[in-house]
Structure 1
Amino acid sequence: MSFVKSVDASDMIKIADTLFKLFSEVIEWVGSSNIVHVVTDNAANYVSAGKLIHEKKRSNWKEIVRLGVTRFATVFITLKSIYDRKEDLQTLMVDKYFTSHELSKSVNGKMISSIILDSKFWEDCLTTVMIVGPLIKLLRLVDADEKPSLGYVYEGMQRAKIAIKTIFRNRKTAYTPYTSILKMQWDKHLKRDLHAAAYFLNPGFFYSEGFVEKANILRSLLDLFDIETLYDDSVAAMQEIQLYRDRKESFGRESALKAIKRLEPGR
């Protein structure tokens, strides 16, 4: 590891083009053929600069390390990219270019070679990628800045659990080790009345065939609103909830029904 240079960017407007020029100077100095990975901040301007770098790469390059779509999932996105390059990597390990290189005779080289040529590694890799796929979709939603995500978290977690069960063909003994970890983290960090209430109050989900009717969902809504403290308005509040639940009066209007899937729950 060696230090190349530092730049005082305190007075610089950090837009994608400016950052791209800074990165390009270093890449040109090091040599594009020697670049393995460029690590940057995950802010939008840095991601855009990274995309510019990728657009100007050599035509025969194949990506393995991928730009992180969400800051929490980069390692799994990279793992998926590695799996997609399985045949190329295995071919490299038996190619004369590698086997005659001093790296193939080093401890690390032998270890990497044994991993890439191990069928069990690729089986585990595929399993991991398939399991994490639904979770990455949920993380992209939660980590996005385009729109409020509160109304989608509960449904997203339900969908992730169903997807994982489907991967293992609903064999309980096969999917339980993974869904139990998911449930433990959900219960510990994310399971809140607010998420269940937002799920209930999102008409796009509530009026769909896939809505999961559970007693704890309505209970979470009532606990969150604390109906008992509304005193004189408690009856009116319960009536409004009932009207919404049964899709009556204004909730049953044709205009309201048409807007169900287009209207964001935060609006």
Structure 2
Amino acid sequence: MLEDIGKLPLIRKTIRRAINLVGFIYAHSSTLSLLRNFTNKRELVRHAITRFATSYLTLERLHKEKANIRKMFTSDEWTLNKLSKEPKGKEAAKVVLMPSFWNSVVYTLKVMAPLVKVLRLVDGERKPAMGYIYEAMDKAKETIMKSFNNNESKYKDVFEIIDKRWNCQLHRPLHAAAHFLNPEFFYDNTDLEFDFEVTNGLFECIKKLIPQFDVQQKILTELHLYKIGADHFGSDFAMAQRKTHSPTYWWRMFGSQTPNLQKLAIKILSLTCSASGCERNWSVFEQVIVTKL
């Protein structure tokens, strides 16, 4: 997804300029020494070809050091440096003093920051992402919209890429089911059980992953108890821990009254979703879960 967004003309141009600028500074000992003098030895982030996400880090650090980098390229030390007279040096100084470059850096960061946050969640080790990816993507889009004051022309092309990727590769019934079964989100949104996309994903999971009709019926019956927060689900302990513990832990602690639903929920919510793993086919996900059930 980030790679596709990075191909948009303005973002691609911005990233290329940033990479060239940082590369120029680090290619020469004199410019690197000058940089460290002006940034109090804080380093920039050099781009790694194999990780597109580092482009975001490169831009983020450049933006933080904007004032110091501009001072560097307008200083007497730079003017006296022989590199300031060479083509690459002139181009670097030109970019640094170009308002449009810094405006495009801000634009790119507004687009990329929420998506990088999702990427970090997906690749994180703190808790499995299956129960969080659906909500995270919605929040990322909301954040991007707000950052541009809902001016659709600013993010239309970006959202087209996000929606294409989300609908074709990332958005699977498992993500919707995990969203529904995550108590942190379900009990905070009274309309969630009426969301067709989410409930349809849940039912798809039940149908595909639970071949026994009698077990399917038991799960649907038990699902009602989860919806209304009955018995253990509505206890003070369960309510207090909806947001403080992982959803898998929560289901292990409070789902014993619905054993069939509990087993399904734990299996789905225990799945992790790496940046590449998110894009597996549904059939692969199905095989993984059926094997474990």
TM over 0.5: yes
The code of the aligned residue for 1:224 comes to C
Gaps of 5+ in 1: 1-32, 37-58
Conservation of the 8 A alpha-carbon contact between 2:133 and 2:175? yes
Conservation of the 8 A alpha-carbon contact between 1:205 and 1:211? no
The code of the aligned residue for 1:154 comes to Y
- Measured after TM superposition, the shift of residue 209 of structure 1 is 4.2
When residues 66 and 239 of structure 1 are mapped into structure 2, their CA distance, relative to the original with a 3 A threshold, is farther
Q: Distance in 2 between matches of 1:217 and 1:118?
A: 47
Which of 77, 89, 98 is equivalent to 1:118? 98
Which of 145, 148, 155 is equivalent to 1:175? 155
Gaps of 5+ in 2: 1-28, 33-38, 250-293
Q: Distance in 2 between matches of 1:206 and 1:197?
A: 11
Q: Distance in 1 between matches of 2:136 and 2:220?
A: 27
Matches within 5 A, 1:97-108: 97-108=77-88
Q: 1:84 corresponds to which residue?
A: 64
SS in structure 2 of the partner of residue 65 of structure 1: coil
- Measured after TM superposition, the shift of residue 210 of structure 1 is 8.9
SS in structure 2 of the partner of residue 151 of structure 1: coil
The code of the aligned residue for 1:249 comes to D
Tell which has more relative contact order, 1 or 2 (C-alpha 8 A, sep 6+): 2
Q: Distance in 2 between matches of 1:265 and 1:211?
A: 20
Conservation of the 8 A alpha-carbon contact between 1:66 and 1:81? no
TM-score (normalised: structure 1):
0.71
SS in structure 2 of the partner of residue 266 of structure 1: helix
1:189 aligns with 2:189: no
Conservation of the 8 A alpha-carbon contact between 1:203 and 1:260? yes
- Measured after TM superposition, the shift of residue 60 of structure 1 is 3.1
Task: Tell me whether 112-121 or 171-180 shows the greater mean CA deviation.
Answer: 171-180
Q: Distance in 1 between matches of 2:30 and 2:233?
A: 62
When residues 140 and 35 of structure 1 are mapped into structure 2, their CA distance, relative to the original with a 3 A threshold, is farther
Conservation of the 8 A alpha-carbon contact between 2:206 and 2:216? no
Decide which structure has greater helix share.
2
Q: Distance in 2 between matches of 1:104 and 1:255?
A: 66
SS in structure 2 of the partner of residue 98 of structure 1: helix
Q: Distance in 2 between matches of 1:174 and 1:157?
A: 18
Count of aligned pairs: 211
The code of the aligned residue for 1:179 comes to F
TM-score (normalised: structure 2):
0.65
Q: CA RMSD in A?
A: 2.6
1:215 aligns with 2:162: no
Conservation of the 8 A alpha-carbon contact between 1:72 and 1:139? no
Q: Distance in 2 between matches of 1:89 and 1:120?
A: 16
Identity of matched residues, %: 33
Which of 233, 244, 259 is equivalent to 1:262? 244
Q: 2:229 corresponds to which residue?
A: 247
Q: Distance in 1 between matches of 2:184 and 2:220?
A: 21
Q: Distance in 2 between matches of 1:107 and 1:72?
A: 28
- Measured after TM superposition, the shift of residue 35 of structure 1 is 10
